[in-house]
Structure 1
Amino acid sequence: MIGDTLRRVPSTLRYDVPASLVVFLIAVPLSLGISMASGAPLAAGLIAAMVGGIVAGALGGSAVQVSGPAAGLSLVVADLVQTYGWRATCMITLMAGLVQLVLGVFRAARAALAVSPAVIHGMLAGVGVAIALSQLHIVLGGQPQRSALANIVELPAQLAEMQGHTVVVGLLTIAMLALWTRLPKRVKVVPAPLAALLVAGVTAWAFNWDVTRIDLSDSITEWTVPVLPSGDWHRIVASVLLVALLAGVESLLCSVAVDGMHSGPRADLDQELSGQGVANMVSGALGGLPVAGVIVRSTANVQAGGRTRLSAFLHGVWVLVFALGFGWMIKLIPMEALAALLVFIGVQMVNLGHVRKVHGHGEVPVYLVTMGGVLVLGLAEGVLAGLALAALLALRRLTWVTVKTRPEQDGRFHATISGSLTFLGVPRLTHELRAIPPGAAVDLDLNIDFMDNAAFEAIHSWRLNHERLGGSVDIDEIHDEWYAMAASGTRRSRSKTPPRAPDRWWLPWSHRHSRPARHGVPAPGGPRPASVECQLTAGAREYHRRTAPLVRPIFTELARKQQPTHLFITCADSRVIPSLITASGPGDLFTVRNIGNLVPRRGAEPHDDSVVAAIEYATQVLGVHTITVCGHSGCGAMSGLLSGGVKAGSLPGLRRWLRHGYHSLATFIETADEPLDAGALDRLCKVNVQQQLDNLRTYRKVDEQVRAGQLELVGLYFDISSARVHMLPPPPASLSVKI
């Protein structure tokens, strides 16, 4: 244990100590500003920063998350202070911490992640706007009102009576915050909030402006004993739960977000919730604000190089040392500068990036309702309104049914029903199905993941009635057979089942359908289609219907760029399916196909750059680590070589291309110890694979990577009749035969 600690000392001194100082410089001004926005004593913010760093940093489950007073809780705290007083608010914070501790012990942290991010982002945006509106009055030389609407109503009068010096200090602070990000990196080592407050404070002192100074005289050492709040106990319990849940959810979401910023150990969410609970109990007992994980400080910690929880712990120690030994320096900061800092932070909490994210998932209404509810009704009411709307939208999505019908050229009707079939979708379902003309032949695709009895009865009764009137209904269930099982009386599981891939998707078109021809696809042994386009069109429709919904998430991720690990060179033979015989998926293989899986040697005639271009791109741009050459039994190109070009006599292009296989033929003849018999063709196919591996080494870049161990050459042979893939040994060093 001691040895591990000693080994970590150099890393701690190099990374965690500097990171803790950066976070400390950010934490002090933000903690003071959040205290002011919360209507609490200014020292309460520093106490919460100390406790968040020392207690939550030591006991929490995240390696790099930094905790302290959070701007998102300022509206709740301000309301509690006005309702119950500061000392009772401290007791509510203590009891909220106890609730968090119990939830963490019972491993309930994951449940908090079920809250829609649109609600969280909307809540933070509403809080940010409310903070900006209230603190804007202080910048203008007045006092904030009790609600956001009151602040808006009073703003014109406040603008008419604004004080010159206070406005200049506020504008100077905001200008510094806005311009600081454009300065060189060596200047931005000093955090923007600290630099802005220092410039504003020094300027106000130098010109002797009439501003309000911050005074912490002895308040940091005075202990505010918490007292039990008096009043309706229902409201008190609701307040405790609100603080516990908001602080807990914000901390857990921050932990998840920060996990994506570093490569260290992942956060233990239950331990993190327990640690936050203990921190809130201690902060409430000492007279501090509620504690939560803060994304601004956590991000700064990661960017500054923090690697372990020691950086968060040390940041709390630095805040304690500063508050006890250098608190007098805070007197230089004008109150109006702190208010301007909060205005800037409040505006930044309305994050347009979050709006774009929720817009992509159709959750902008949830975001706007939550934000508007926080501003008009209050934080708790706004959050509840957002949660209610999110639940309604989720219910709507779960029960939404899509029914599409269209006539085909052969007079049949094709209908597709998608979604979860419940009693709520029966009216739409029956309306669309009854619109199909009586007596029509119908292909009905059920692309569903659930069907209740009401939906089954609706489809089944329509089918019986349609067939009674002379029509036909052919039902194809793309997922599990909900309809077929219900029709047979078999009991189904109540839960949804994941989609499964279509049965026998790898079969040829002519073998895939066991029922009569559909969409131009014949049954086994049936007549061939009039054109290949009919087969491809039907196949594309089947892909969109069956496969596209399953693979869309994969292709959405792959759309950014390709990162294949293998270059796969194989024959153009239609029976060789690379993804099938290697069990690979989209994005795994960079594939080159040609007649005979040939790799022209460097400088060979006739000159051809197509294969060489693929090899260069795969090895020098994509960075593949394996090149595989795959031959197969009964290869027509090798048969043409054995015939001396007779079988390719009427195909001049093919004859020219087969010249690249002369080395394979020469090597085969040179090494043959058996007469030419029925197995000669397959032996040549295997020799050809080894020869192409040798041909690859004629390219300098490939040879250098192979010698350096960065690239591996592999030979495969696919025996079509047995459907087996064989690994071929590497070519002998003296394989090449000069022609």
Structure 2
Amino acid sequence: MFKNLKNDLPASIVVFFVALPLCLGISVASGAEPITGLIAGIVGGIIVGAASGSKIGVSGPAAGLAVIVATAIGNLGYENFLVAVVLAGVFQIILGVFKAGIIGYYFPSSVIKGMLTGIGIVIILKEIPYFFGIDKNPEGDFAFLQVDGENTLTELLKVINALISGNFDYGATIIAVIAMAILLLWGNVLSKKGKFFQLVQGPLVAVVIGIVYYFLTKDSGLELSKDHLVSVPIPDGLSGLKDLLTFPDFSALTNPKIYITAFTIGLVASLETLLCVEATDKLDPNKNVTPTNRELFAQGSGNIVSGLIGGLPVTQVIVRSSANIQSGGKSKASAVIHGFFLLISIVTIPTVLNLIPLSVLAAILFIVGYKLAKPSTFKAMYDSGWMQFVPFITTIVGIVFIDLLWGIGLGLAVGIFIVLYKSFGNSHFLHKEGENVDDGKIKMTLAEEVTFFNKASILKELDQLPENSFLELDVRKTRYLDNDIIEILEDFAFKARERNIDIKLISERGIIENPDSFIEFFKLKKPTE
């Protein structure tokens, strides 16, 4: 696990600084104490990270569960709520044993990309007030509505009014601008100049500069108040750490509401995890495929541990996972190490953490949000046609104006309607016409219409192809090929070179040996019309 430590250690530092504000923010958005989110982050990194089969996925407190968690805590009380978290973990392990992980393959890539983009937009919108030192509420709430009764638009209007009137925090804004400049310079210029700039990451430099700024500007008129700094609890050494923990009250097992809450948390957490797994695998430059049933087992184990020691529910989370990928993480060591960083920081340097300006963390999250919601993504989805763009944009609107789960649900509903509209009456999607064990030649013919509903079966067939074999893929009868299937073929072409599998693509335009890009080929062929 540690053979890529030179890549994973710097990535874990970045993930740590991304996870810290999110852990704090999600806990408060869930109506819980800040330490509960940090506990979930530690468990998600160390326990889930070690048990997971994902090389680059990172787990922690679940933003998509914030509303459900807040309601459950209000109805049950925190100690009783922890019992439901433990039972939710047991439920997830049962789902993994019964191989329910396949459900994640039934979500179209347009919805997954919309989820990524929507989260990126929300991150940017939610961090704008912190960038200017205006909103003193904890950051990280992913829902459109905030726990203080404000919403995204009213918060942004407050920022605009403050900027016009000059009634914003100049110190917080100055260090945020400096941090943003450092991040852009580091990412676009310095990171290409040598190994030192790759090992020492821009976010770490920005945080250090932010702490230095805090000390240098004291009593200068541009100083930062305590309201604009990170606030984590300070234990009395390692022995005092147990005083920060809360334990479940198992006498609540007689309360039927516990089981309803546990089922809801387990189901939603599993769905959110599987969607993030699908999204993370798409972002992975090495095209690794995460074993979903093992992931459910890992998440269930994490929720059992988190519930037993007072933490919030955990899922795999795309913000931390994408930050891990973008920072060069290669194996799950980066997730595990980031969990230890969270633990060590609580025990040893809470006073240092409490010197980090929130506006610096906002600048870091701006960059993460932009990478998730690049304008080029909108253009690419628009160019893919209305059947891809409409579910994509619906998912984004739902996430930004309601919350994560609503956005995914609306996007999926639109995607299903479009597929049913296009694929009504077609039941066969893949025909394996012959296999000669002796010479390793396999012929596969795609049906007239192939949609994202067929992703799981096609993935299974392609993954089971033996090494050193020969695949003849016939698409002459195919008139509609979903973009998800094209992406699967694109990923398979990458993996086929590693497994020494030769591919012959037979189409109406002729025969192509070992095509370099299925995406480019089908883009020219226009199979979606």
Is this a same-fold pair by TM over 0.5?
A: yes
**Whole-angstrom distance in 2 between the partners of 1:332 and 1:45:** 19
Q: Deviations over 1:675-723 (max 9, x none)?
A: xxxxxxxxxxxxxxxxxxxxxxxxxxxxxxxxxxxxxxxxxxxxxxxxx
Aligned-residue offset at 1:356: 4.5
1:342 Cα offset (Å): 3.0
Counterparts of 1:214 and 1:230, CA distance in 2: 39
Distance of 1:196 and 1:230 partners within structure 2: 49
Give the SS at the match of 2:231.
Answer: coil
Kindly indicate whether residue 275 of structure 2 is the aligned counterpart of residue 249 of structure 1: yes
Secondary structure of 1:210 counterpart: coil
Please say if residues 299 and 314 of structure 2, whose CA atoms lie closer than 8 Å, have aligned partners that are also in contact: yes
Pairing 1:271–2:294 present: yes
Q: Secondary structure at the match of 2:17?
A: helix
Matching residue of 1:30: 18
The 3-state SS of whatever aligns with 2:197 is coil
The residue type paired with residue 300 of structure 2 is G
Instruction: Tell me, in whole angstroms, the C-alpha distance in 2 between the residues paired with 1:344 and 1:79.
Output: 29
Which residue does the alignment assign to 1:330?
353
- Gap regions ≥5 residues in structure 2: 138-144, 236-240, 430-444, 450-474, 498-504, 516-529
> CA offsets per residue over residues 1-38 of structure 1, 9 Å max, x none?
xxxxxxxxxx94xx344344223312221111212432
1:278 and 1:288 mapped to 2: Cα distance?
A: 13
Q: Which residue of 1 aligns with 2:161?
A: 157
Change (3 A) 1:44 1:259: farther
Amino acid at match of 2:59: G
In structure 2, the CA distance between the partners of 1:194 and 1:388, relative to structure 1 (3 Å rule), is: same
1:177 aligns with: 183
Contact in 1 for aligned 2:10/2:327 (Cα 8 Å): yes
Q: 1:190-229 residue pairs with structure 2 within 5 A? A: 190-208=200-218, 209-211=223-225, 212-218=228-234, 221=242, 222-226=244-248
Q: Which residue of 1 aligns with 2:110?
A: 118
1:56 maps to what in 2?
48
1:341 is displaced (CA, Å) by 2.8
- In structure 1, stretches of 5+ residues that fail to align are 1-10, 400-419, 423-448, 451-495, 501-544, 564-578, 590-739
Which amino acid is 1:188 matched to? Q
Q: Which of residues 556, 569, 587 is equivalent to 2:513?
A: 587
Cα contact 1:38–1:74 (8 A) shared by 2: yes
Q: Aligned partners of 1:354, 1:279: CA distance in 2, in Å? A: 33
SS in 1 for 2:315: strand
Given candidates 352, 362, 367, the residue that maps to 2:392 is 367
The correspondence of residues 638-677 of structure 1 with structure 2, limited to 5 A, is none
1:142 equivalent to 2:167? Answer: no
Quick check: 2:448–2:478 contact (8 Å CA) kept in 1? no
Where do residues 89-108 of structure 1 align in structure 2 (5 Å cutoff)?
93-108=85-100
Contact persistence 2:129–2:159 (CA under 8 A): yes
Matches within 5 A, 1:394-433: 394-399=419-424
Q: CA deviation at 1:203?
A: 1.6
Q: Which residue of 1 aligns with 2:461?
A: none
Q: 1:174 to 1:338 in 2, by over 3 A?
A: same
Q: Does 1:321 align with 2:347?
A: no
Q: How does 1:475-486 map to 2 (within 5 A)?
A: none
CA distance in 2, matches of 1:58, 1:273: 13
Aligned residue for 2:127, secondary structure, equals helix
In the aligned structure 2, how far is the partner of 1:134 from the partner of 1:230?
A: 37
Measure the CA separation in 2 of the matches of 1:497 and 1:261: 23
Q: What is the distance in 1 between the residues matched to 2:85 and 2:268?
A: 10
Q: Shift of the alpha carbon at 1:267?
A: 3.7
When the two structures are aligned, how many residues end up with a matched partner?
Answer: 415
User: Is the 1:35–1:42 contact (alpha carbons within 8 Å) kept by the matching residues of 2?
Assistant: yes
Q: What are the Cα deviations for residues 261-299 of structure 1, in whole angstroms up to 9, with x where unaligned?
A: 46xxx5432112211221122223333344333567657
Measure how far apart 1:370 and its partner are.
1.3
2:62 paired with 1:68: no
Query: Which of the numbers 268, 280, 285 marks the counterpart of 2:308?
Result: 285
| 1:398-547 superposed matches below 5 A | 398-399=423-424, 498=447
**Aligned residue for 1:511?**
none
Counterpart residue type for residue 223 of structure 1 = L
Superposed CA offset, 1:302-339 (max 9, x none): 78887665554444334433432333321221223223
Range moving further from structure 2, 27-36 or 41-50: 41-50
Aligned residue for 1:260, secondary structure, equals coil
| Aligned partners of 2:272 and 2:316 also within 8 Å | no
Which structure has more relative contact order (CA 8 Å, sep 6+)? It is: 2
Amino acid at match of 2:97: V
Instruction: Determine if contact 1:366/1:386 at 8 Å carries over to the other structure.
Output: yes
- Pick closer, same or farther for the CA change 1:246–1:549 going to 2, 3 Å: closer
Q: Is 2:371 the counterpart of 1:348?
A: yes
Q: Cα gap change, 1:125/1:301 in structure 2, threshold over 3 Å: closer, same or farther?
A: closer
- Residue in structure 2 matching 1:382, options 407, 420, 427: 407
Q: Which amino acid aligns with 1:81?
A: A
Q: Which amino acid aligns with 2:152?
A: A
Residues 495-540 of structure 1, C-alpha deviation per residue, up to 9 Å, x if partnerless? Answer: x99369xxxxxxxxxxxxxxxxxxxxxxxxxxxxxxxxxxxxxxxx
Distance in 1, matches of 2:120 and 2:331, equals 30
Q: Closer, same or farther in 2 for the Cα pair 1:302/1:132, shift >3 Å? A: closer
Tell me the CA shift for residue 238 of structure 1.
4.1
Q: Distance in 2 between matches of 1:28 and 1:91?
A: 28
| 1:164 CA drift (Å) | 1.2
- Rounded to whole Å, the distance in 1 between the matches of 2:333 and 2:160 is 49
CA deviation profile, 1:586-623 (whole Å, cap 9, x unmatched): 3379xxxxxxxxxxxxxxxxxxxxxxxxxxxxxxxxxx
Q: TM-score normalized by structure 1?
A: 0.48
Percent of aligned pairs with the same amino acid: 23
Q: 1:69 aligns to what SS in structure 2?
A: strand
Structure 1 pair 588–383 and aligned structure 2 pair: CA distance change class (3 A) = closer
1:335–1:369 CA distance, 2 compared to 1 (3 A): same
Please report the TM-score for the alignment, with normalisation by the length of structure 2.
0.65
Offset at 1:252? Answer: 4.7
**Does the CA-based 8 Å contact 1:126-1:374 persist in structure 2?**
yes
Change (3 A) 1:421 1:549: closer
Q: Give the superposition deviation at 1:393.
A: 0.7
C-alpha contact 2:16 2:339 (8 A) present in aligned 1? no
Q: Aligned partners of 1:421, 1:309: CA distance in 2, in Å?
A: 41
Q: Distance in 1 between matches of 2:349 and 2:41?
A: 16
Q: Which amino acid aligns with 1:126?
A: G
Give the residue type in structure 2 aligned to 1:243. Answer: A
Q: Give the whole-Å Cα distance in 2 for the aligned partners of 1:300 and 1:376.
A: 24
Amino acid at match of 1:391: I
Q: Which has the larger radius of gyration?
A: 1
Partners of 2:89 and 2:46 lie apart in 1 by 16
Deviation at 1:114, TM superposition (A): 0.9
Distance in 2, matches of 1:421 and 1:17, equals 49
Q: Give the whole-Å Cα distance in 2 for the aligned partners of 1:336 and 1:75.
A: 24
Partner amino acid, structure 1, of 2:224: D
Q: Alpha-carbon deviation of 1:154?
A: 3.5
How many angstroms apart in 1 are the aligned matches of 2:365 and 2:200? 19
- Higher helix content, 1 or 2: 2
